[in-house]
Amino acid sequence: MMHPGASISQVYLCCVPVDFRKQIDGLAALVQAELSLNVFGDALFVFANRQRTRLKILYWHRNGFCLWQKRLEKDRFAWPSGDCPATQTIDLRELEWLLEGFDLWANYPHKTLNYQSVI
């Protein structure tokens, strides 16, 4: 998604606001030490500032880190409520929706039902 050829299997939202003075090293340390996640895996790590007007996305690509940032000129990004755990997992499609301004937590689709029989 972010870089041509990058293989992404997970997207983690860091639910706690992050100091946006942090760059690659500070965000990578946060992922590894505070979130206990593998910063070198095939995942995107998404961070928001306190005002939710900026997002940073950190990921490892082959031989180095990539850092992507989006700043909204007006409005705010939808974000999980304060009672969520330290991280929340979403998929790439949901990340695209989040970047477009959709509130994933206000409009969930119907739950998938897995039945074994119709009788």
Structural domain containing residue 39: 10-100
Q: Average the pLDDT over 27-53 and give the result.
A: 95
In a domain, 105, yes or no: no
In a domain, 44, yes or no: yes
Of 107 and 7, the one with more pLDDT: 7
- Domain assignment present for 33: yes
Residue 43 pLDDT > 90, yes or no?
yes
> Is residue 36 one of the residues assigned to a domain?
yes
Measured distance CA(94)–CA(46) in Å, rounded: 12
* Residue 8, SS3 per DSSP: coil
Query: Is there a domain that residue 110 lies in?
Result: no
Tell me what the mean pLDDT of segment 60-75 comes to.
92
d(CA 37, CA 43): 10
- Kindly state whether residue 16 falls inside one of the protein's structural domains: yes
Question: In angstroms, rounded to a whole number, what is the distance separating the alpha carbons of residues 20 and 36?
Answer: 20
Q: How many domains does the chain have?
A: 1
Position 48 in a domain: yes
- Within a domain: 5: no
